[in-house]
Amino acid sequence: MNEFDFEGTVWHYRNPNTVYFVSLPEELSAEILALFGTSLNPWGTMPVDATIDDVTWYTSMFPRDNGRYYDLPLKLKIISQLGLVDDQQVSVHLAIRLS
């Protein structure tokens, strides 16, 4: 199975620009890491198609905390289009890109 659903909270990181993310739950991050390891990218990033509501975009998730969590970046276009704000709960659908 290469598709996953989860609930997460929108948060931002400033350095020097503001970048928004949704972190995958620790259990889901561990499951994805166990299934794919670093086979898709030696740096540990994971290529995905992400969907929130009816908006889908291509991006790469980043491992954090020694691979304990994956963080899904939210492009500013996505934040604006969906009207997302800090601390907002969202439902996310992920499809891992295998090629």
Domain residue limits, the chain: 3-96
* Mean pLDDT computed over 88-93: 98
Rounded Cα–Cα distance for residues 3 and 34 (Å): 14
CATH superfamily assigned to domain 3-96 = AF2212/PG0164-like (2.40.30.100)
pLDDT tens-digit series, residues 44-80: 788 999 999 999 999 999 888 877 789 999 999 999 9
Whole-angstrom CA distances from 46 to 61, 80, 81, 88 are: 5, 24, 24, 24
**pLDDT greater at residue 52 or residue 31:** 52
Its pTM stands at 0.87
Please report the pLDDT score of residue 38 as a whole number: 61
